Chain A
Amino acid sequence: MATKTVAGRSVEVTDEGFFESPESWTEAMVPELAREEGIDELTEKHWMVIRFMRQEFQQKGSGPTVRALGKTSGVSVKELYQLFPKGPAKVAAKVAGIPKPRGCI
């Protein structure tokens, strides 16, 4: 566990950089979190995925895998990897302040 400052607020994150408590996340933190993941320009599609991750987490208690994202977010797998080249579900979860999605497919 570690503590870091995002958008002027102190938050607890795991060793991998995922939020320990999703409640401490705000949308204002997104640009900075995205930059840390190498995403300099956030498009409407990025936001769509990030908000979808949040929403899924709130409803189901865990974030979707890439396959689930591709089927339900309205963004195709191909596009997801263009938006988040370092792993769509993993990176979007980190930026959305939710735990890393588990699942093998």
Chain B
Amino acid sequence: MSASIEKVSIVISKGSIDGIYPGLIMANGARAEGIDANLFFTFFGLDAIHKKRQRSIKIATVGNPGLHLPTWLGGVPGISAAMTKYMNTKMAKLDIPSVPAFVEMISDTGAGLYGCQASVDLFGFTKDDFVEQVDSIITVGEFYDISAGGQIIFT
């Protein structure tokens, strides 16, 4: 057999639907393959594990050419909410879990979930602002310690 990946540490740095899901799917998929996985939430990525924010993750309709919407339309009030609802409905049909359910499931797979200390300080959060599945708030140095011997993936 050729070389295999034994461990991954995935950084989620953005707070939009398309910023959060790829990292969650990669972490969950890693565990399903028997690969050790850690998730590290930094900057707006912290919203994915924030008790009050993880249920209202949105998709950006401004400055997001991937949506193929006319620029003027993206900023119209209600468009972001409508696109978010559309995406969530589509994902639910494919049995892709909501962000809170996904975070819980990934924790159940045995993956480690960590928040970034610098970002937590920057936004004035505390450990209590985050869901119980979060193992701890760690520094960048601790992140590298935890990631030792594996691959680091930034999303």
Contacts and interface: CB of A to CB of B under 8 A. Distances in A.
Interface of A: 15, 65-68, 70, 76-78, 81, 85-91, 104-105
A76 B97 CA distance: 15
Given A77-B109, A85-B110, A89-B32, 10 more contacts: A65-B32, A66-B109, A67-B105, A70-B108, A78-B109, A81-B31, A87-B31, A87-B33, A90-B32, A90-B33
17 contacts: A65-B32, A66-B31, A66-B32, A68-B95, A70-B105, A76-B108, A77-B108, A77-B109, A78-B108, A78-B109, A86-B34, A87-B33, A87-B34, A89-B32, A90-B34, A104-B25, A105-B97
Most chain B beta-carbon neighbours within 10 Å: one of A76, A81, A86, A105: A105
A67 B31 contact: no
A81 B109 CA distance: 6
A86 B4 CA distance: 13
B116 to A, nearest CB: 26
Contacts of A76: 108
Determine the main DSSP class of A at the interface with B.
helix
Interface of B: 1, 25, 28-29, 31-34, 94-97, 105, 108-110
Most chain A beta-carbon neighbours within 10 Å: one of B25, B28, B94: B28
A17 B105 CA distance: 27
A105 B95 contact: yes
Contacts of B29: 104
B95 A67 contact: yes
B105 A15 contact: no
B153 to A, nearest CB: 15
Given A87-B33, A90-B32, A91-B34, A81 B97 contact: no
A88 to B, nearest CB: 7
Contacts of B108: 70, 76-78, 81
A77 to B, nearest CB: 4
